[in-house]
Each structure stands twice: as C-alpha cells, then as structure tokens.
Amino acid sequence: MGGLTEAKLRAVAGERSFERGLGYVGAVSGIEVGDGWIRASVRGTERYEVELLPGGRGRPAGTCDCPYGQDGNFCKHLVALGLAVMDQEAELSRGRESARDRARGLDAWLSGLSREDLLALVREETAEDRQLRRRLELRAASARGDLAGIRSRMRELLDIGPFARYGYVEYADARAYADQAGQAVSAIKGLTGSGRAADGVALAREAIELLAGLVESVDDSDGWLGRLGGDLADAHHDACLGARTDPEELAHWLVTHVLDDAAGLTDIDPLDYEDLLGERGMAALHRYAVDAWQVNRTGWAEKDLMQRLAKSRRDIDTVIAVHTADLAPNGHTHLLIARELDAAGRTAEALEWAERGMRETEDLAAVDTALVDHLADRYTQAARLADAVALRRGHFAARRTLLTYQRLRAAALAAAWWPAEREKALTLLRADAEGTGSHGGRVLVDVLLDDEDVDAAWQAAGECGAHDGQWLTLADQSRSTRPADALNVYLRLAACLTRETGNHAYEQLVSLLLSIRDCHHHLGTPDDFAAYLTDLRATQKRKRNLIQLMERHGL
C-alpha cells in the first residue's frame, strides 16, 4: 500500500512493539486488501484477526483483537501485517485488482438473476448458513414491525446453547458466542435508527437482563461479554434519547438496574442520563435512591449510588450521613468522613471525626493504620507534637511491629522525646520476647537493627532467637567488627545450602562463600578458608554449575 514504511510503523507502534512485530511476519496469513484497509490473521498466543489502515500520507492505524490491541494500542500483530504487506506489495496489488474483478463479476451476475432465481439462491444459502438465516430473519421481522419476531430472534442470538458444553461456554468459544450475541445489539440499534426507539428501549433492557443471567456460564477471560454489555448500555441510552422516555420511569429503571447484578455487566452510570432525565427525572432518581438506601443502609451498591448522587450535587452532608449509617469497627469509615470534610474545607469537623474513630475503635490492634497516620499528620501540622507522640505510643502498645515502632520513633524525635520513649518501647518488646517466644524476639531484633544498634541486636538474637534473614543481616553488618560471630552464621547457612540444587541456591551459596572468605581475612586465617573450600569442592563436585560459578568468582 502506497505510503506505508518501516519508519511509520515504528513511530506509531513504538520501539518495543515494532521489534516484537519483526518476529511475527511469518505468522501472517489470509491477507485481504480492500479500499483503504488490509485484513489478515496473525498467529500469536492464539490466532488474532487484524485490520490495518495504511493511512496514505498520514499515520497508519488499525485494530487487533489481541488483549493489547483491544486497549487501543498499535500492537506487534499490526506491525507484522504492515511489514508483510510491504514485502508483498506487487503480489497484493495484483490480488486487489483480482478481488475487484471478482466483486464486479458477482454484482453483475446477481443483477442478472430473476426475482425467482435470486430468492432461490437466498433460500439455498440460508438453509446452509444458520447465522445468515438468523440475520435475515431479524431484518425481516424489523422491516414488518414484528416486535414478537424480533424478540424471538434476539433470544435465539443470546442463547448459549449452541456454544455450551455441559451448560458452559468455554474460553475457546466465548468470542464466537459474543459475535453472535452482538447481532442482537445491532438489531436493537437498528430499531432506534428506524424510528422505533421505544421498542429499542424495551428490547435493550430485556437483553441486558438475559445476558446478565448468562455471565456465570461464559468464560469471559478476554472480556468479550464486558464489551457486549457496554454496547448494550450505549444502545439503551440512544434508544431512551430517541424515545424520549418518561423521566420518572427511566429514573426508576436506572436505580433498579444499578442495584441489580446486571450492573456489573453494563457499568451504566445513572449520571450519564442526566440530560435525558432533566430536573424532574433527577429528583425522582434521588428519591428512588434514598428509598433503596433506607431499606438497606449497609448495602454496598445502595451506599455507592447515594454517595455518587450526593457528590454530583456537592451535598457533603448526605455523603457523611451515608457513611455514618454504617460505621466500620476499625475506624476506616471515620477516616473516609474525615477526608471528605477536609476536602470540603471543614477541617475542625474532620479532626473531630478522626479522633472519634480512634475512640470508638474497640481494639486498637485492629484500627485502620491509615486513620492513625491521618490523625498523627494533623496533630503534627497543628504543632500538637505531644498528642502525636501519645497517639503513636498507644498504637505501638496495641500493635507492636517494626512499622508502629518506626512511626513512634519519628513522632518522638520530632518532639525531642525519643530516648525515654525508646526505652519504654524496648521494655515492652523485651517483655514480649520473654512471654511470646520467637515472634516477640524477632520483632525486638528487627527494631534494634532498624535503630542500627547492632550489638544489642546480636544479644537479643542470641537470647530470644531470630530467623535466618535476621542472622544474615547481623552477619553482613558485623563482618569487620565481629568476624568470628559472622563466620559462624555464614557457615551454618552455607551448610544448609549445600544440600540444595538449582542455580538460585548456587548463587546464594557463592555469595556466602565470598562473605566467609572476608571473615577469614579479618581473622587472619586464610589457610582455614582454603581448607574449607577444598573440602567443599570435593563434596560438591557433581554440581557442575556450582563449580563453574565458584570459579567465575575466584573461589
């Protein structure tokens, strides 16, 4: 196709997709050339259908049904098709002319048939092609205003039966089913386009309900049903626009829909219908939403609808009322309210809600950490450093972890109280280590390492226990100051790894060997390391990858 170049393909696809497309040129098959378009199949993870628009003097564009292409990207399969077309330019030009000749010949032949012969031909083709028959039956029903007939054909198109094995449409058949069901959507759009928008509204709603009931019976890993649901939503909106649907009736349907399981299929947002609802319809929408929420104040869908409607009207008090009706026991909802009030500039009320969340959380060990962070930040901003430290101290006392210790340390350092707070915190952790065993001891080791108090961490690890990662950290931080202690750790960990196989284990072992060599250097015992290494080589000689890795590191 004139104007298509590697430079244009590289520019529109990007370097990564272009380079990957080079390897797929041989996977292109079934190239068809039309007026301004090129179609083909490209074999990737599966066979993908690709349409390239060369663009003449402009930038090439196109579509591909691979996951990356479906997101609107110019993928490697489009690149491969473009490169294949460039390689076959002369042959494709002849093919294009041949295709045009065949099309003209077909048109001429069909035009010369009598009415009876043409009908016989159509009957013959529809007898052999069920999909063609259904499409024509749908058009016929639409042309004669046969709503019952259209509904019947639509139900057939949405039926999973022909594609389902044991009542379930598997991944390999999902696209074919979606393509068939898409004909029903086209029929609904056709009704609206032909001036029968009210029928389009009714059938769109019926199709949404039918399709929602089938979602669990289709493997929709590639999102075919999701796209179909979006198309149905568009068809419904356009039909409502054409039919000038009664605002109150539309509002009622929208609220019912978004609270139903079908909402996840279409992702319809009632606010997208604001132009159709008008003032009366929006008032009804709000009224129906309130009624539904009052029946189920803890329902996620009901709360979400209420909050979105309230935010659209900047009604912060209603947003807070919805949150207040279903407060989480860990303070998370209090945090949401505080953030909403902060955004609205009502900072004093926001602070009250955050503090209330801390008070009303029965178990501080389970409190939402984000609430603690939020409130501590507000105290710090207001120069209430003592309150920030007290908050962090209480949280650490309830949930003794490295993170809560770090947060307490930051607050206490800002208030110049850290030495006294640290001693209190370490006292709690030592009591934990004595009372709860290894878990408490490991937290103690973590915080001492985080404080860079390595000697105290060694002592705590020896008295209370530590996991291998902590021992390794201790050894790495002490090779030069405590080489004998570090060496014992490395030797123990290395002994465990000698019983394992695989390159990952070999890399870990060689890293330990280098550390062991460093310890012997600090101890002045290089001969001991040489003897250890000789023995290790003898016992591990069958592990060729390990021996080669050791040699690359001079071991």
Percent of the chain with pLDDT over 70: 95
345 has pLDDT over 90: yes
Compare 85 and 256 and report the one with higher pLDDT.
256
pLDDT (0 to 100) of residue 205: 94
36 has pLDDT over 80: no
pLDDT (0 to 100) of residue 93: 64
- Residue 392: band (very low, low, confident or very high) from pLDDT cuts 50, 70, 90: very high
Helix (H), strand (E) at residue 516: helix 503-523
For the chain, give percent helix, strand, coil, nearest 5. Answer: 75, 5, 20
Q: Which residues 6+ apart lie within 8 Å of 80 measured at CB?
A: 21, 22, 23, 24, 25, 27, 28, 42
30 has pLDDT over 70: yes
Longest CA–CA separation in the chain, Å: 106
Question: Can you tell me the mean pLDDT for 528-555?
Answer: 91
Amino acid sitting at position 226:
G
pLDDT (0 to 100) of residue 224: 84
- Residue 426: band (very low, low, confident or very high) from pLDDT cuts 50, 70, 90: very high
pLDDT in tens, 370-389: 999 999 999 999 999 999 99
Tokens representing residue 223 in the block: 């999102």
pLDDT in tens, 198-233: 999 999 999 999 998 888 899 888 788 888 999 999
438 has pLDDT over 80: no
- Residue 344: band (very low, low, confident or very high) from pLDDT cuts 50, 70, 90: very high
Tokens representing residue 212 in the block: 């929602």
268 has pLDDT over 60: yes
- Residue 90: band (very low, low, confident or very high) from pLDDT cuts 50, 70, 90: low
- Residue 291: band (very low, low, confident or very high) from pLDDT cuts 50, 70, 90: very high
pLDDT in tens, 112-126: 888 888 888 878 877
270 has pLDDT over 80: yes
Query: Which is nearest to 223 in space by CA: 267, 185, 190, 184?
Result: 267
Percent of the chain with pLDDT over 90: 56
d(CA 241, CA 237): 6
d(CA 283, CA 290): 11
d(CA 90, CA 87): 8
pLDDT in tens, 348-371: 999 999 999 999 998 899 999 999
Question: Can you tell me the mean pLDDT for 399-419?
Answer: 95
Q: What is the DSSP letter of 34?
A: -
- Residue 190: band (very low, low, confident or very high) from pLDDT cuts 50, 70, 90: confident
pLDDT (0 to 100) of residue 406: 95
pLDDT (0 to 100) of residue 508: 93
pLDDT (0 to 100) of residue 56: 62
324 has pLDDT over 60: yes
d(CA 500, CA 495): 10
DSSP H stretches of helix in 437-525: 438-450, 454-464, 468-478, 483-497, 503-523
Of 95-104, 217-226, 546-555, the poorest mean pLDDT is in: 95-104
Q: Is the backbone of residue 41 left (phi > 0), alpha (psi -120 to 50) or beta?
A: beta
Compare 316 and 143 and report the one with higher pLDDT.
316
289 has pLDDT over 60: yes
d(CA 550, CA 454): 31
- Residue 132: band (very low, low, confident or very high) from pLDDT cuts 50, 70, 90: confident
162 has pLDDT over 90: no
310 touches 279 (CB < 8 A): no
pLDDT (0 to 100) of residue 91: 65
98 has pLDDT over 80: no
- Would you say how long the chain is, in residues? 555
pLDDT (0 to 100) of residue 437: 56
Question: Can you tell me the mean pLDDT for 482-504?
Answer: 93
pTM of full prediction above 0.75: no
Tell me the average pLDDT of the chain.
Answer: 89
Q: How far apart are the first and last CA of the chain?
A: 61
Tokens representing residue 371 in the block: 């609430």
pLDDT (0 to 100) of residue 271: 94
Query: Which is nearest to 403 in space by CA: 411, 458, 454?
Result: 411
Question: Can you tell me the mean pLDDT for 14-42?
Answer: 87
